[in-house]
Amino acid sequence: MSDETEQDALLGLKPVAPERTERYGPHPSQLVDLYGTAGSGPRITVLHGGFWREKYDRTHLSPLAAALAERGYAVELVEYRRTGGGGGWPQTAEDVDAALEHLGAPPHVLLGHSAGGQLALWAAAKRERAASARILAVAPVADLVRAHELRLSDGAVAEFLAGEEKPGNGWSDRLYDADPMKQMPRVPVEILHGTADRIVPVELSRRYTNDWGARLHLLACGHYAPVTPNTPAFGVLLDALR
């Protein structure tokens, strides 16, 4: 199945409203949606992807959050400032830090997809408090230098690191702080990545795993299947969470 077909399948799912929403800051994007609040299962904090851009928000992962809640997890779906809406580096990372601080004790799992995977890996290395008991990164942008060389999503890395500036205005100086490849994780990391992924090539996860010893699971799918409920790849994600 192609990335485009998988994307259509995920985006074709009806968004699921949370049980409640909390604010962790004054900006309209500084929100956390809560699912499974009545349960006593393990907590999972979820960071969505979308190459850090404003036009991609948390809504597309609401079916994932609801599906995990149905299986007994307490799920926290985080929104954050994104490029074009007051985000970029370091504001986006600051929001992830603030959201985790707002939520209190570290979750059992910090789960990030795509660009959210980069943010989860950053948190695993850079937060003063532990980001979580462990990290589950799904198709993460785990190597910003290589992602920039490949010009993934028409130069998304340069846009992200430039923030509200124009790409090229010293953004490369921020690579050391932002790039997971330059930061040793302080908690265990597990990665799921589809070998047919053309949006974020599996090469990035291989490079991260080779450097930092993360556990890498290769899946026969593209970019979106692991975060789409009821797919075989979603079943692998559930196994990894267990």
Tell me the pLDDT tens digit for each residue of 18-62. Answer: 999 999 999 999 999 999 987 678 999 999 999 999 999 999 999
Domain count, the chain: 1
Provide the mean pLDDT of the chain.
Answer: 94
Range of the domain at 196: 3-241
Does the pLDDT of residue 211 top 60, yes or no? yes
CATH number for position 147? 3.40.50.1820
Tell me the pLDDT tens digit for each residue of 66-102. Answer: 999 999 999 999 999 999 999 999 999 999 999 999 9
Angstrom distance (rounded) from CA 55 to CA 65: 20
Tell me the pLDDT tens digit for each residue of 107-124. Answer: 999 999 999 999 999 999
What pLDDT does residue 124 have?
Answer: 96
What pLDDT does residue 216 have?
Answer: 98
Does the pLDDT of residue 237 top 80, yes or no? yes
Output DSSP code: residue 153. Answer: T
Angstrom distance (rounded) from CA 167 to CA 95: 21
Angstrom distance (rounded) from CA 215 to CA 236: 14
The closest alpha carbon to 32, from 79, 73, 93, 101, belongs to 79
Query: Which amino acid belongs to residue 129?
Result: R
